[in-house]
């Protein structure tokens, strides 16, 4: 079920920030009223496609930051595994140089809450998640506005990497709509005209006929 239009699921988790600092109470609450958030999930540390995505986001980090947007990555690995991968140079398949937060969803509850958990699982009578197969996250991406509401959701299967420029474009589209009250047509990009939202007028017409 899609999460667009609803409040982003809340969580507190271990994370690695600033390329190597460990924190144990990371939450998106710190950004509400302050920043947009791009929260993206990736399957697993020490794999092949994942570092290309993480480095691609890092390469455009300044573009997100100048739009008041915080990048946050998440996988079902532990914080220790994140830290270990951050020590490995890019030339050797590592993610050294990544500075945005990496959340450790080792109990899989965040991935489940965002409906991107791949694998067979259930909950026991204590509410604990019990896995019966490989439990990793699909390549989910969520744009969360400053009110904590999910405005965009994209989920790719495991082999399919994402387009970072498209994440920037959709962020620009949201900011344009908020600033101008206009909607963004197909293939809209910064500098293009928007369209007046006539949805309310259509609704009024239908209700009177």
pLDDT at 120: 72
2-17 residues labelled b (16+ CB within 10 A) or e (exposed): ebeeeebbebebbbbe
pLDDT at 28: 97
Residues 125 and 48 both lie in one domain: yes
Confidence grade of residue 103 (pLDDT, cut at 50, 70, 90): very high
Residue 8 forms part of a structural domain: no
pLDDT at 209: 40
pLDDT at 147: 97
Closest listed residue to residue 143, CA positions, set 117, 178, 192: 178
Residues 80 and 23 both lie in one domain: yes
Q: What is the CATH number of the domain that holds 61?
A: 3.40.30.10
For residue 26, the enclosing domain spans 13-161
pLDDT at 50: 84
Whether residue 204 has pLDDT greater than 90: no
Mean pLDDT of 137-145: 97
Residues 146 and 123 both lie in one domain: yes
Residues 155 and 201 both lie in one domain: no
Residue 18 forms part of a structural domain: yes
Residues 71 and 147 both lie in one domain: yes
Q: For 12-61, how does the pLDDT look when each residue is reduced to its tens digit (9 = 90+)?
A: 999 999 999 999 999 999 999 999 999 999 999 998 788 899 999 999 99
If one counts the domains in the chain, the total is 2
Mean pLDDT of 6-14: 96
Helix (H), strand (E) counts: the chain: 6, 13
Helix 164-180 / helix 49-59 crossing angle, nearest 10 deg: 40
Mean pLDDT of 184-206: 64
Cβ atoms of residues 154 and 140 within 8 Å: yes
In the residue annotation, 74 being an active-site residue is answered as no
pLDDT at 126: 82
Residues 24 and 78 both lie in one domain: yes
Residues 20 and 89 both lie in one domain: yes
Confidence grade of residue 146 (pLDDT, cut at 50, 70, 90): very high
Mean pLDDT of the residues in the chain: 88
Q: What are phi and psi of 69, to 5 degrees?
A: -120, 135
Whether residue 197 has pLDDT greater than 80: no
pLDDT at 111: 96
Q: How far apart are the first and last CA of the chain?
A: 33
């Amino acid at each position: 079920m899609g999460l667009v239009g609803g409040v982003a699921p809340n969580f507190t988790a271990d994370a690695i920030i600033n390329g190597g600092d460990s924190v144990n109470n990371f939450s998106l609450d710190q950004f509400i009223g302050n920043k947009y958030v791009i929260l993206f999930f990736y399957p697993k540390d020490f794999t092949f496609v994942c570092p290309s995505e993480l480095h691609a986001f890092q390469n455009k980090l300044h573009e997100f930051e100048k739009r008041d947007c915080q990048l946050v990555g998440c996988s079902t690995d532990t914080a220790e595994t994140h830290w270990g991968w951050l020590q490995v140079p890019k030339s050797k398949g590592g993610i050294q140089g990544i500075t945005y937060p990496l959340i450790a969803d080792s109990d899989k509850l965040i991935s489940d809450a965002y409906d991107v958990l791949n694998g067979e699982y259930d909950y026991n009578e204590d509410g604990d998640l019990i896995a019966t197969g490989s439990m990793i996250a699909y390549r989910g991406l969520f744009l969360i506005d400053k009110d904590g509401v999910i405005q965009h959701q994209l989920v790719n299967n495991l082999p399919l990497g994402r387009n970072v420029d498209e994440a920037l474009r959709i962020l620009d589209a949201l900011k344009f709509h908020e600033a101008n009250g206009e909607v963004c047509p197909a293939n809209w990009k910064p500098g293009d005209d928007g369209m007046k939202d006539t949805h309310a007028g259509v609704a009024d017409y239908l209700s009177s006929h």
